[in-house]
């Protein structure tokens, strides 16, 4: 029995779904705990590609219970169309559960997200326009609509009659957009409730029972550490808590049941949307990182936007280890680096303004933007890794690269992915039952060297 959190250790799109899919083989329950249809999770099985947005990727294993937890925000229209498409492909929904208390993304959330982005000019976040921020904002404002409301016509109508006129003032006066109709929304959303009813329940109670039946529970993170509302590159973040701590709140379990936290990172770094990205490469290196691995090129699964690409950032990696309490790492897309002559890893930052050098992310306001990477350079291994199935199969240069990442982040690399398919994976050590390491690194946030001023 082990209860495991899989969390993105970078800016999202780390390949979490591939890792979740591998680990789901031995899971009884897979739980999404935050986010909504902003997520785009790709799994490749037997030559078939599946792209999940709301539904846990554990659904690929029939018999595995899949839960959309209370910390999620669910667009029912997107949920129903994703589920219908999966059912058409023969997937089994008999063990799919949706939390009654998850919040609902409404049409006004979608309209406000898009309008707000368009109005921001230079302060744009680059959201996925899936209504995520406005839905979580209403939740915090205690005016949100929850899944349970879709099953109760009186409750839903009462809330809509109160809320929609308020939202119409915002839509019309602030953004010059058409008003939305209580009647039309009510009819559409009560119908969604009817379709979703069979999945809706108290999912926290199910997880609690599963814990006591000593089942294996996998918590599937969406987004990533640097997109976390509290710990990410604020304000260029999402509106939920992708970090490991968010799994407990978002699923409704106590931290005492968690056995293991696995961080997923690419062997390099990507980001979709705006915000600081110290190791971003704007020249042909960035373009090669984006295009290599085609047809699995770096394009956002949800929005189709090209991902910004750059070198692996060990400073942010150490930060992810600290914020999530990572036990080990799964490194994905190693194969993308196969043909590079030289590969760089950012090991520290230099403050462009003060010249101070840091080995952890300094917490001063705006500091992230001023950080210039200090790189360690590796000779490329210039050999294909896609067919490697063990650590010893890997070229010596690739082994050195992985060992270096592990040393820099102070955690073992347990899994290495060398292609999108299930079998294109190397297990270095058991990611779930491996030994517990004590994290130790000091001088956090203090400059390692100060410039002579």
Active site residues: 13, 41
In Å, what is the CA distance from 221 to each residue of 16, 116, 291? 8, 26, 26
202: Cα separation from own chain's centroid: 24
How many residues make up the chain in this entry? Answer: 453
Considering only 133, 286, 310, 325, the residue that binds ligand IMO (CB under 6 A) is 133
Tokens at residue 398, please?
């690739």
Which of Mg ion, ligand GDP, ligand IMO, none sits in contact with 128, Cβ below 5 to 8 A by type?
A: ligand IMO
Q: Give the DSSP H or E segment for 84.
A: helix 76-88
**Residue 56 makes contact with Mg ion by CB under 5 A:** no
CA distance 44 to 50: 6
Considering only 3, 4, 9, 13, the residue that binds ligand IMO (CB under 6 A) is 13
CA distance 315 to 409: 8
Contact pattern for ligand GDP over residues 283 through 312, marking x by CB under 6 A: ----------x--x----x-----------
Considering only 110, 160, 418, 432, the residue that binds ligand GDP (CB under 6 A) is 418
Residues 6+ apart with CB under 8 A from 80: 192, 195, 196
Q: Which is nearer to Mg ion, 13 or 82 (CB)?
A: 13
Partners of 345 in the beta sheet?
A: 312, 376
Considering only 15, 35, 36, 40, the residue that binds Mg ion (CB under 5 A) is 40
Considering only 3, 57, 203, 223, the residue that binds ligand IMO (CB under 6 A) is 223
**Residue 15 makes contact with ligand IMO by CB under 6 A:** no
CB 177 within 8 A of CB 107: no
The residue whose two tokens read 């199935």 is 389
**Residue 225 makes contact with ligand GDP by CB under 6 A:** no
Which of Mg ion, ligand GDP, ligand IMO, none sits in contact with 293, Cβ below 5 to 8 A by type?
A: ligand GDP
Contact pattern for ligand GDP over residues 19 through 58, marking x by CB under 6 A: ---------------------xxx-x--------------
Considering only 86, 272, 336, 347, the residue that binds ligand IMO (CB under 6 A) is 272
Phi-psi map region of 381: left, alpha, beta (phi>0 left; psi -120 to 50 alpha): alpha
**Residue 203 makes contact with ligand IMO by CB under 6 A:** no
**Residue 242 makes contact with ligand GDP by CB under 6 A:** no
Tokens at residue 77, please?
């229209």
Vertex 376, ends 374 and 380: CA angle to 5°?
140
Q: Which of residues 30-49 bind ligand IMO (CB under 6 A)?
A: 38-41
CA distance 1 to 217: 8
Cis peptide before 235 (omega within 30 of 0): yes
**Residue 273 makes contact with ligand IMO by CB under 6 A:** yes
Q: Which is nearer to Mg ion, 222 or 428 (CB)?
A: 222
CA distance 4 to 21: 13
Considering only 5, 100, 156, 222, the residue that binds ligand IMO (CB under 6 A) is 222
For 306, which DSSP code? B
CB 343 within 8 A of CB 378: yes
Site of interaction with ligand IMO (CB under 6 A) = 8, 12-13, 38-41, 125-128, 130, 132-133, 222-224, 227, 238-239, 272-273, 301
Which residues make up the interface to ligand GDP (CB under 6 A)? Answer: 8, 13-18, 40-42, 44, 293, 296, 301, 332-333, 335-336, 417-420
Applying CB under 5 A, the residues found at the interface with Mg ion are 13, 40, 301
């Amino acid at each position: 029995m082990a209860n495991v959190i899989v969390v993105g250790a970078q800016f999202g799109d780390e390949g979490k779904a591939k890792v979740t899919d591998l680990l789901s083989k031995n899971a009884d329950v897979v739980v999404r705990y935050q986010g909504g249809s902003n997520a785009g999770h790709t799994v490749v099985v037997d030559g078939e590609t599946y792209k999940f947005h709301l539904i846990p990727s554990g659904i690929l294993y029939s018999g595995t219970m899949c839960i959309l937890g209370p910390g999620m925000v669910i667009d029912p229209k997107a949920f129903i169309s994703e589920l219908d498409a999966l059912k058409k492909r023969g997937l089994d929904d008999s063990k799919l559960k949706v939390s009654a208390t998850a919040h609902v993304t409404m049409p006004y959330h979608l309209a406000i997200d898009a309008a707000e982005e368009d109005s921001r000019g230079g302060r744009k976040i680059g959201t996925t326009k899936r209504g995520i921020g406005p839905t979580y904002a209403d939740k915090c404002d205690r005016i949100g609509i929850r899944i349970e409301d879709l099953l109760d016509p009186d409750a839903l109508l009462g809330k809509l009659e109160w809320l929609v006129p308020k939202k119409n003032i915002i839509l019309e006066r602030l953004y010059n957009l058409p008003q939305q109709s209580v009647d039309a929304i009510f009819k559409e959303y009560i119908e969604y409730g009817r379709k979703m009813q069979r999945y809706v329940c108290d999912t926290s109670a199910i997880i609690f029972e599963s814990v006591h039946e000593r089942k294996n529970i996998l918590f599937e993170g969406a987004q990533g550490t640097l997109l976390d509302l509290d710990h990410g590159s604020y304000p260029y973040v999402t509106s939920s808590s992708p970090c490991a701590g968010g799994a407990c709140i978002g699923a409704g379990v106590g931290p005492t049941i968690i056995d293991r936290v696995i961080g997923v990172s690419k062997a390099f770094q990507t980001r979709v949307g705006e915000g600081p990205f110290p190791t971003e490469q704007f020249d042909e290196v960035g373009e090669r990182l984006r295009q290599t691995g085609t047809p699995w090129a770096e394009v956002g699964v949800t929005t189709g936007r090209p991902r910004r690409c750059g070198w692996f950032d060990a400073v942010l990696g150490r930060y992810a280890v600290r914020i999530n309490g990572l036990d080990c790492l799964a490194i994905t897309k190693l194969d993308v680096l196969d043909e590079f002559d030289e590969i760089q890893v950012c090991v520290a930052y230099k403050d462009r303004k003060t010249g101070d050098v840091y080995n952890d992310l300094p917490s001063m306001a705006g500091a992230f933007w001023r950080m210039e990477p200090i790189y360690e350079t590796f000779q490329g291994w210039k050999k294909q890794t896609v067919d490697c199935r063990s650590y010893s199969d890997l070229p010596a240069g690739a082994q050195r690269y992985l060992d270096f990442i592990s040393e820099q982040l102070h955690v073992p690399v347990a899994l290495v992915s060398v292609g999108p398919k299930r079998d294109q994976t190397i297990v270095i050590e058991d990611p779930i039952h491996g030994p517990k390491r004590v994290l130790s690194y000091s001088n956090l946030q203090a400059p390692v060297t100060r410039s002579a001023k």
